[in-house]
């Protein structure tokens, strides 16, 4: 999608520090990490947020969770991590392309 930061990152038009890529998704380190390990996983298809997931597009979300579980084992943080997706400005979403934050490497505390 035009003028979408993460579509441009997926296309290689804007540089990123790649963690993983396959046909369906792309993972790259967050530019402003909030934990020792902090990367984002995005579907290659443009969806504005999790609010736009439908039965048709839901499989990519399951795939992304499977990728995250595998990366957690391969990168050595499977013992504990958090996956977060923000929906809408009120929840802190700043980039309107669905993305899953993966955070690990420190005590994350309880979420409430
Ligand atoms: P959110 O606030 O949930 O929309 O998350 C957007 C995330 O994208 C933030 O954590 C930003 O630090 C991150 N971000 C913004 N621009 C870039 C970029 N060019 N490369 C990597 N991460 C970015
Ligand atoms: Zn996009």
* Per-residue model confidence (pLDDT) at position 111: 63
Residues whose beta carbons lie less than 5 angstroms from ion ligand 2: 1, 4, 6-7, 46, 97
30 CB under 6 A from ligand 1? Answer: yes
Please tell me whether residue 75 adopts helix, strand or coil conformation.
helix
What is the pLDDT, as a whole number, of residue 24? 98
Ligand 2: centre distance to CA 4 (Å): 5
53-102: pLDDT as tens digits: 999 999 999 999 999 999 999 999 999 999 999 999 999 999 999 999 99
Separation between Cα atoms, residue 109 and residue 18, nearest integer Å: 27
Per the prediction, the chain carries an average pLDDT of 95
- Is 63 an active-site residue? no
Q: With a threshold of 0.75, does the pTM exceed it? A: yes
Relative to the CA of 85, which ligand 1 atom is closest? 3
């Amino acid at each position: 999608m035009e003028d979408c930061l993460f579509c441009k990152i997926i296309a290689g038009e804007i540089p990123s520090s790649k963690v993983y890529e396959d046909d369906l998704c792309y993972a790259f380190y967050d530019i402003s990490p909030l934990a020792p390990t902090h990367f984002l996983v995005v579907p290659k298809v443009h969806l504005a947020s999790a609010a736009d997931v439908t039965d048709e597009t839901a499989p990519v979300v399951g795939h992304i969770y499977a990728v995250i579980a595998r990366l957690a084992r391969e990168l050595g943080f499977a013992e504990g991590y958090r996956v977060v997706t923000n929906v809408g400005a009120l929840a802190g979403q700043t980039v309107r392309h669905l993305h899953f934050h993966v955070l690990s490497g420190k005590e994350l505390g309880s979420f409430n």
